[in-house]
Amino acid sequence: MKNKLLIILIFLSVAIVSCTDDAVKPAVLPASTKTILLSADIQPVFTTNCVGCHSTGGIAPDLDTTLSYNALTTGNYISTSSPSSSILYQEIISGGGMNKHVTSPTPPIQASTFISNVLTWIQQGAKNN
């Protein structure tokens, strides 16, 4: 009887210890201490993954290299007072309307590094750098 009880206790202990909660991706990622540059950290991803649709005559905002900063800042896609509420950030973390337009997944647009870089860039003042 003691052996059965001991086995049950060991089994329950292992079961309890092995249980974990599924991690939920936070809506707001922590700010990076690295200075994020639009030209080096964000624009290359726009150019590779977004300009096909988000360019002159296409879907707003125009994310072409020479136009993206003005399109994002004058089009109210960025809120430096509430970075995580910025339309740009919200669209990127949710997939936004891109799900309607992109037929194959583009992993860099979902990469956590890119998402973090966009948020950090906005938190750092969304400079044209």
Q: Could you give the angle at which helices 112-123 and 87-94 cross, rounded to 10 degrees?
A: 170
* Domains of the chain, residue spans: 27-123
Q: What is the structure's pLDDT at 94?
A: 83
pLDDT of 126 over the 90 cut: yes
Question: For 73-117, what is each residue's pLDDT tens digit?
Answer: 999 999 999 999 999 999 988 876 665 554 444 554 546 888 899
Predicted TM-score (pTM) of the model is 0.68
**Mean pLDDT (the chain, rounded):** 79
Average pLDDT of span 53-81 = 94
